[in-house]
Structures are given as structure tokens and as C-alpha cells.
Amino acid sequence: MTARIGFIGLGAMGAPIASRLVATGHDVVVFDLSTEAVAKLVSEGAEAGESAADVARKCDHVGVCVPTDVHVVDVVTGDNGILVGAAQETSIAIHSTVHPDTVRDLCALADESEVILFDAGVAGGKQAAEAGTLAITVGVPVGGIPDRAKEALDACGTVIEAGTVGTGMALKVGLNVMTYLQQAAASASYQVAMQEGVDCHKLIEAWRHLGMLGSLTEQFFPLLTMDSDSKLKGEFGQMLQRMIALAEKDLDVASHIGLESGRPMPVVEATRDAMQLIYGITPPASPT
């Protein structure tokens, strides 16, 4: 194995993906604004990069998993971004859930430097990332997925080629819509059942019998049984708020795609605006 793999963004999904790459024997260089997150990966066998540009100088392929479109653009094109350090034929996989046009625009910009940039959405959650069973939705660049990139992706899950650059991200956004709408349905179902005194285990039993409870929804279910105050405390509360913010961001991307296509999606917009309640957090009362 001669390719060096870079990974930028060690958050809730990025960290387990980078960890998986290290665990499967890859030579990995990581960068994140959190020194603690970097230190943890270094303890597992990764090398610390000084910046996104430094990671690109040292690597043949770079994965990016940062929160929003703005962060992705900065990581790729900023003063210390990937394109500053990347050699010709370096490949960049955008794992962050962003608007497909963001990926297409960055792809065109990278092409000017003869760098290969494409989208590779990751679906399945933290457990799938740790196990290497992610669904990886790829918008295939001209010339196909480079071998070094394919090797890294294969270590993390199953590659689903959606079409040309941008389509992998569109598929990922669609999958996220399914996930969050299922969570909304589970939350509403739980609220109805609990209001009438139903044992929550009976609800789960019925869901399983009917094949309505997928693994991601089942992972979400324990949150519903926690009291609202517990969900707001300490590191768990901070983590949960980050998850909700990402859900709102992903659903907003989907909403904009709907508007651009001429088919607004009010159900998606309503779900976006209700994520706090869906996660069982009661918003503060409005001042009178």
C-alpha cells in the first residue's frame, strides 16, 4: 500500500471514518481545528497535519468531512486549503453533505489545477463508519474514481455510483431526507402511544413485526425515552445540539433543491423547523 490518505474534519462522522482508515492499514494524515480530535487519531497511528494544505502536500488522496458548504469551500480553496498544497492528479473526496452545485463548482476549480475532486456522501451513521459498512454515494469524476481514492472508499463501505459529479451528493441528501422524516414519524408515533399509556416496548415490537423499524431509526429511538432536561446537559447536550443543527442544515439543502426544481417540499421544511421537538427537546417558552 503506497498511497497516503489525508483526512480533514474529525467530527462525529469524520473521526470514525479516519479511524477506520488507520485500522485497515492505511498511511493516514489528519487535520482538524480540534487538537484533541487530532491527538486521538495520532494515538491510533495517524500523522498530524499542520493545515489542509500540509495534508494535501503529503497525500495522494484527501477526504473532507466538515460541517457546511462554507467550511468545505474554505478547506478546498482557502489560503491554507487543499488546492494550495495539492500536486497534479491528487484526488479529493467531499464527504460533507452539501449542495450538489457546491461540489460541481469546486470540481471545475480543481480541474484548473489538474486535481480530481468529486462527491462521496457517507450514509449509515457512526456505527457503520466504525464497522466499514457505510453506503458511499459517489458522483463519478471524468475518467472514473482514481484507484487510490477507490481503495480508501472501499475500506469504509460500499460504493454506490450515482452518476456524474454532484449526483452522489444529491443521492445523499435524498437519503438524509428519508432518515429525518422517519425520525419525525417515530417521534410522533411515540408521542401518541405514550400519551395513551402504551408500553414503549410494545411499540418497538409492533414496528419490528411490520418491518417499519430500520437500524437508523432504532438507534434514534432511545432518545425519545429520555427526559428533555437530560438531553440538554453537559457534553451529551452539546453533541445533541450539533446533531440537530446538522439535520436542519441537510434538510435546508433538500428544501432549496426542491425550490430550484419548481417543486417545493413543505413536509421537508416542516421537519427542518421542528427538529428540536422531534428530538424530544421542548423549546423555551416565548416571553409574554
pLDDT digits (tens, 9 = 90+) for 25-61: 999 999 999 999 999 999 999 999 999 999 999 999 9
134-140/116-123 β-pairing: antiparallel
Domains of the chain, start order: 4-163 (3.40.50.720), 172-278 (1.10.1040)
Is 200 or 20 the better-scoring residue by pLDDT? Answer: 20
pLDDT at 244: 94
DSSP assigned state of 81: S
Least confident of 4-18, 49-63, 67-81, 221-235: 221-235
> Residue 190: pLDDT above 90?
yes
Task: Using alpha carbons, select from 182, 132, 179 the residue that is nearest to residue 158.
Answer: 132
pLDDT at 246: 92
Residues 6+ apart with CB under 8 A from 94: 64, 72, 103, 106, 117, 118, 119, 120, 169
> Residue 227: pLDDT above 90?
no
Mean pLDDT of the region 183-208:
93
pLDDT at 2: 65
pLDDT at 284: 53
pLDDT at 89: 96
Q: Measure the CA angle with vertex 50, ends 48 and 53; round to 5°.
A: 115
Mean pLDDT of the region 90-97:
98
Task: Using alpha carbons, select from 222, 233, 235 the residue that is nearest to residue 280.
Answer: 222
In this structure, how many other beta carbons lie within 10 angstroms of the beta carbon of residue 221?
A: 17
Displacement of CA 162 from its chain's centroid (Å): 17
- 185: phi then psi, degrees, rounded to nearest 5: -65, -40
pLDDT grade, residue 287 (50/70/90)? low
- The strands making up 91-94's β-sheet, listed across from edge to edge, are 47-48, 27-31, 4-8, 61-64, 91-94, 116-123, 134-140, 157-164
pLDDT at 214: 84
pLDDT at 13: 95
> Residue 217: pLDDT above 60?
yes
In this structure, how many other beta carbons lie within 10 angstroms of the beta carbon of residue 205?
A: 12
pLDDT grade, residue 170 (50/70/90)? very high
Span 239-279, pLDDT tens digits: 899 999 999 999 999 999 999 999 999 999 999 999 999 99
Least confident of 142-151, 188-197, 214-223: 214-223
Q: What is the pTM of this model?
A: 0.92
- Give the chain's mean pLDDT: 94
pLDDT at 81: 98
User: Which sign, positive or negative, has the C-alpha torsion 168, 170, 172, 178?
Assistant: negative
Could you tell me the CA-to-CA distances from 90 to 32, 53, 142, 231 in Å, in that order? 20, 12, 14, 42
Which residues are bridge partners to 27 per DSSP?
A: 4
Assigned C-alpha cell, 217? 431509526
pLDDT at 37: 97
